[in-house]
Structure 1
Amino acid sequence: MSDQQQHEHQHDDTDAVVGAGAPERVGVLGGGRMGAGIAHAFVLAGSQVVVVERDAAAAEAARERVTASLEKSVARGWSEPLDELEGRLRVAIDIDAFAGNGLVIEAVPEDEAMKADALARVERVLHERAALASNTSSISIDRLSATLARPERFLGLHFFNPVPASALVEIVLGTATQPALANDARAWVEAIGKTPVTVHDAPGFASSRLGVALGLEAIRMVEEGVASPGDIDAAMELGYKHPVGPLRTTDIVGLDVRLGIAEQLHQDLGPRFAPPQLLRDMVADGRLGKKSGRGFYDWND
């Protein structure tokens, strides 16, 4: 079979993306913390998952992240052995590996130009029935779809960090997203054991807009000396039943990620989302939260 015939054969075998359950074959572009978490979720749901990274070293690092999460699931009592789960995971460095996948989720850094370029490149190797999604937390789905040939097969699937512990996925519908695709997306989210909420494309969607608003105000309170991070978080945890306070959440998400989202929302929604100078200073100083060891809290222990 020639390379061209093989490519066409893969396209012909694209699994249907209609109906309940996770797609048989799922691709994830980007194997960082979010991409690895997404891959982990679909492997557990029974999908064959391929993670595509920029080079061999990054692909192997992605494999190690997903495998580490799978090991934790098995240690907690997951019913399948680790070797069976690992058998459903593959890593690659060429987006042609996505050919034949029913769903591909983009999980590259939160940069609009980078995401738009990545999505357009991935779409070119997918069957016309395949679904394409972005894990963006704040960038407009309509803007990201502007360079796509099939915007009706595109939507947002906003997972939350850390993916294995999060119960929520925000489904973001663009103006052109097919209603049937929205229904399928809800079935996929439920198939991986999470709860879907559906929103229409708007700056920051629902979760980022509300979460960042609370987080920025909490940072301003620290900046103004109103209270300590611990006391601000305790006020929300004990007074409003938030499981994690806004400053600890900011540390977990990453101060650099929060800053990027705030800058996007500031551009789209105006001065009420202007990032506090304290946030900018902490990012510039490398105090990014849990991933760097220090943010509003010390995570080195």
Structure 2
Amino acid sequence: MLDGAEGIRRVGVVGSGMMGSGIAEVCARAGYKVSVYDLTPESAEAGLERIQRSLLRAERAGKVTTEARMSALGRINVHTDLWRLEGSDLVIEAATENEQLKLEIFRKLDEVVTSTDAILASNTSSIPIMNIAMATSRPEHVIGVHFFNPATILDLVEIVPSLLTAPKVIDRASIFVTAALSKTVIRAPDRAGFIVNFLIVPYLLAAIRMYESGFAAAEDVDRGMVLGCGHPMGPLRLADLIGLDTVSAIAHAMYLEHKEPLYSSPPLLQRMVSAGLVGRKVGRGFYAYPEP
């Protein structure tokens, strides 16, 4: 941990799902005290167990020592009381990709996080940061800090300032991500989808349409892109990894903003989300996964 170099000593995380637990683990491994909030005791406990399993896998892979694993766990506290985030210098929201939910979270964080220098960040992958910032009384302190799944492995973070984000906040968030978390930052525009998802989501939707139409089998679509284009993972497996609900939410946000047909969700994607078949995290999407 950089001792106060970016003015951040305590980190809060809202949400303990796949992204929230990953972000919390990354921050704890970097030496920060992390308070994680989730809505129910069951989801909070599941989030803590997810972090414990992830750290154990990292130890078995030789990426952390036993001492480092236990030390990181000791820096993480999971709560169902949002007010436990009150003393945070940085809060990263990692809730479900639902705009109304995120706006409500930021309204509450505006009351809870009392430090006038605190940064309120969203891990949203598609929702305009300007919309989120205006739910607070301090839009200049709100910024997008978009990690990629799995946050413990992927190096990239998109820093997304709104029109009102203060330059100092941009600098502090960037220093925190690069110097403290040892990740790579790219500056993304406050536009639905930002940089990476703006490019990747139309590709995923095209693959889903190809499969939906019967043009090609799922395995052939994926094998073609892996062996023919050198991609590490095919588009349908990647969609399963991201979560089909997240892919659909990003596509919806991009379509609302740009009104381009290529951003609209294919009917099959909508039906799979409605059925709860949202990919690897639940054990079934375009493929079956024995261990969700």
- Regarding TM over 0.5, the answer is yes
- Determine what percentage of the aligned residue pairs are the same residue: 40
Q: 1:144 aligns with which of 132, 135, 141?
A: 132
SS of residue matched to 2:221:
helix
CA deviation after TM superposition for structure 1 residue 82, in Å: 3.0
Q: How does 1:48-197 map to 2 (within 5 A)?
A: 48-77=33-62, 78-79=64-65, 80-126=67-113, 127-190=115-178, 191-197=180-186
SS of residue matched to 1:26:
strand
Q: Tell me the alpha carbon deviations over residues 19-38 of structure 1, each in whole angstroms, 9 at most, x when there is no partner.
A: 45x93210001111111010
Structure-2 residue corresponding to 1:299: 289
CA deviation after TM superposition for structure 1 residue 228, in Å: 1.8
* Pair 1:252 & 2:245 matched: no
Residues 117, 286 of structure 1: CA spacing in aligned structure 2 closer, same or farther, 3 A cutoff? closer
Q: For 1:63 and 1:283, how far apart are their aligned partners in 2?
A: 26
* Pair 1:272 & 2:262 matched: yes
| TM-score (normalizing by structure 2) | 0.91
CA deviation after TM superposition for structure 1 residue 18, in Å: 7.0
Q: Tell me the alpha carbon deviations over residues 191-233 of structure 1, each in whole angstroms, 9 at most, x when there is no partner.
A: 2232111112011111121111100011111122222222222
| TM-score (normalizing by structure 1) | 0.89
Ranges of 4+ aligned residues in structure 1 off by more than 4 Å: none
Q: Tell me the alpha carbon deviations over residues 58-97 of structure 1, each in whole angstroms, 9 at most, x when there is no partner.
A: 2222221222222222222314343322211111122221
Residues 65, 210 of structure 1: CA spacing in aligned structure 2 closer, same or farther, 3 A cutoff? same
Q: 2:273 aligns with which of 255, 280, 283?
A: 283
In the alignment, is the contact (CA less than 8 A) between 2:29 and 2:68 conserved in 1? no
In the alignment, is the contact (CA less than 8 A) between 1:18 and 1:184 conserved in 2? no
Q: CA RMSD in A?
A: 1.9
SS of residue matched to 2:146:
strand
How many residue pairs end up in the alignment?
285
In the alignment, is the contact (CA less than 8 A) between 1:26 and 1:50 conserved in 2? yes
Q: For 1:75 and 1:120, how far apart are their aligned partners in 2?
A: 41
Structure 1: runs of 5+ lacking an equivalent: 1-15
CA deviation after TM superposition for structure 1 residue 281, in Å: 2.4
Structure 2: runs of 5+ lacking an equivalent: none
CA deviation after TM superposition for structure 1 residue 251, in Å: 0.7
Q: For 1:296 and 1:60, how far apart are their aligned partners in 2?
A: 29
Structure-2 residue corresponding to 1:45: 30
Q: For 2:42 and 2:287, how far apart are their aligned partners in 1?
A: 31
Structure-1 residue corresponding to 2:191: 202
CA deviation after TM superposition for structure 1 residue 145, in Å: 0.9
In the alignment, is the contact (CA less than 8 A) between 1:17 and 1:131 conserved in 2? no
